[in-house]
Structure 1
Amino acid sequence: MKKLIYDVFEIDVSPLNRLGHDPSIVAFGWWHDGELVANVSLYERRLWLSGERVEAYGVQSVAVRPEWRGKGLFRDLMVRALDHADARAGLVILSTDTPDLYTRFGFRAVRESFFSGSLPPGRPRPNCRRLSLENEADVALLLDLFARRVPTSLLAAACDHPALFMLKAVETPEIALMHLPELDAVVAVRDIDQAPMNLLDIVAPSIPSLEDIAAALGYGERHIHVYMTPDRLAWTPGEIAPVDTGYMVRGPYPPEGEAFMLSDMRI
């Protein structure tokens, strides 16, 4: 699968050989002469939606080599994958740039929102360090926090396996994973040296306030963007902006119609 994903999407998943693969992945594929020519994978998603824990499946690694398109392989694999998921969970989700491909399988688009606003005046108290996923001790620290993490939101959040989170960080150099030792937390921040700061995710056994996170990062600006549902951050956004992230669901989705965003820390 690694070669197919790289050839179609130019995403190198080989770092997961070192960082750890998600053991819940179930792959459905077509092979020709020993080469994988089409693939659809599922992985288990552990979600918090409207105050309830929900077990779901995510669809990922949907790829068909160009010369094999138009032969029904994608449809065959989607049917097989969804039969597998439907027997085990009531909700399947995905993100895509091509939603028309998935509406025929019962998926519908759900609009997410991002949140922005000001921080109360305060003094930065920098106490943070950028993690390196090339460093075994830093990887171990992050995995320990993942084992103890709580949902960032009770309205809409995910507590998935860390594989896709780490792969997103590897593939996106502008995302910094910052360890905040006083808060026992790692936060994912994009464009950390620019303003406004973009907060993407929090991995921690207790969710700190946004004010404490900003202070620990040494962030002295007043404005911030938050790309996750902010109900546990002790902060009220000044602006909520709907955005099309390609998010689609198949099955009941309790936060539908409300302002939410699942972390995009996944490939």
Structure 2
Amino acid sequence: MLQYRFKQSFSAEPSISNKLFDLMEVTFPGLSSLAECARKLGASWETASTPFMRFHDDIAITHVGVLEIPMQIMGQKLTVGGVHGVATRAEFRRRGYYREVMSEVLQYCDTLYETLVLTTPQPEFYLPFGFRVVEEHIFKVKCNSTGNTNSFRVLDFTDTKDYTLLHRLLETRAPVSNIVGVVKEKPVFCVNEGSRTLYCAEDLDLIACMEIEDTRLHLFDLVTTQICPLKSILAKIPQPIEEVVIYFSPELLNVKDVQAFVHAFDETVLMVRGKFAAEGEKFMLPRSARC
């Protein structure tokens, strides 16, 4: 017998968390460990997400989660709804359960948010529900940074100082872009970035989500109270950098001769439902905010 539970609260029934992550691990292997990492950083999935689930014999068979993402879009601050963790067990697919749950999700969201976002490698699942694909771009800048002092250090979240720094900057961060940026958001950031290497430049009061590949710097996000010029970041890196690939709109980085390229991040597309003022602009939703 099937039992449907609408907007079940994690706090009202803590056991629902284990049932959800059983489903998540089948659908998205490794997600449970990412969620546990975020929990250790003080930003748990359960405090951020509203779960919409269907059960069979007390086993979670379908889930769609909704969380809030405070954003700045075209200079205006707003809270958008993030749809995430969409999953149905394989043996229960093609029976209409996902459609029923998503319909409940949209009824709930339409009373709260003018804009919904999600990222997915399978946009065809969401087109019937009024979501549309919004084109994203990466940005490339040629440079000739010969390397300077090594001012970045790797954050260690077992250190109370670094843990406190992360929370302070996430709570007070400036949007990385005025076209599309995120402010005062923790859970999605901690799930996406908490298990990665994060770098801190103390004198810039900045946390950088970045990777260096030979002489190429990949810059995914900056968590800081004031976005600084790109040259200030390059000056903190001790090795030569010839190209920077930026995964957000770089208009605040004070760079010239930027080339924009249409890009599907990690083979996923951004989909939106409702108003989205940045549509048609060149931007990317940062890796740290993709859900």
TM exceeds 0.5? yes
Partner residue of 1:230 out of 238, 241, 250: 250
Residues 65-76 of structure 1: pairs in structure 2 closer than 5 A: 65-76=89-100
Contact 1:25 1:42 in 2 (8 A): yes
Which residue number corresponds to residue 197 of structure 2? 176
Q: After the TM superposition, which residues 56-135 of structure 1 pair with which residues of structure 2 at under 5 Å, given as runs?
A: 56-119=80-143, 121=145, 124-135=148-159
Task: Write the distance in 2 (CA, Å) between the matches of 1:263 and 1:219.
Answer: 25
Paired amino acid for 2:39: N
Deviations 1:88-107 (A, max 9, x none): 11100100111011010001
Whether the 8 Å contact between 1:2 and 1:14 is mirrored in structure 2 is no
Give me the whole-angstrom Cα distance separating, in 1, the residues matched to 2:144 and 2:237. Answer: 15
More helix by share: 2
**Alignment RMSD (CA, Å):** 1.8
CA contact (8 A) 2:147 2:241 kept: no
Give 1:1-267 correspondences, 5 Å limit. Answer: 1-10=20-29, 11-12=31-32, 13-19=35-41, 20-21=43-44, 23-119=47-143, 121=145, 124-159=148-183, 161-171=185-195, 175-190=196-211, 192=212, 194-244=214-264, 245-265=268-288, 266=290
The Cα shift of 1:135 comes to 4.3
Pick closer, same or farther for the CA change 1:181–1:194 going to 2, 3 Å: same
Residues 180, 186 of structure 1: 8 Å contact kept = yes
Tell me if the contact between 1:40 and 1:77 (Cα under 8 Å) persists in the aligned partners: yes
The sequence identity of aligned pairs, in percent, is: 26
Q: 1:237–1:43: structure 2 CA closer, same or farther, 3 Å change rule?
A: farther
Structure 2 length-normalised TM: 0.85
- In 2: Cα distance, 1:222 partner to 1:75 partner: 48
- Partners of 2:48 and 2:190 in 1: CA distance: 16
Aligned-partner SS, 1:222: strand
Give distance in 2, aligned partners of 1:221 and 1:121. 5
In structure 2, do the counterparts of structure 1 residues 138 and 237 end up closer, same or farther at CA, with 3 Å as the change threshold? farther
Give the Cα–Cα distance (whole angstroms) in 2 for the partners of residues 133 and 6 of structure 1: 25
SS at match of 2:126: helix
1-side partners of 2:257 and 2:184: how far apart?
Answer: 26
Cα distance change, pair 51–149 in 1 and its aligned pair in 2 (3 A): same
Summarize the Cα distance change of 1:28–1:233 in structure 2 as closer, same or farther, 3 Å threshold. Answer: same
The 2-side partners of 1:165 and 1:194 are apart by: 26
Looking at structure 1, the residues matched to 145 and 59 of structure 2 have their Cα atoms a distance apart, in angstroms, of 58
CA distance in 2 between partners of 1:27 and 1:237 (Å):
45
CA shift digits 1:15-69 (9 cap, x unpaired): 2332221534211001122221110000101111111112210100001111111
SS at match of 2:235: helix
Number of residue pairs the alignment of both structures matches: 263
Instruction: Give the Cα separation in 1 of the matches to 2:168 and 2:184.
Output: 14
User: 1:180, 1:217 within 8 Å by CA — same for their partners in 2?
Assistant: no
Alpha-carbon deviation of 1:123? 5.2
Distance 1:235 1:196 in 2: 16
Question: 2:239, 2:275 → 1: CA distance?
Answer: 39
Consecutive unaligned residues of structure 1, counting only runs of 5 or more, are none
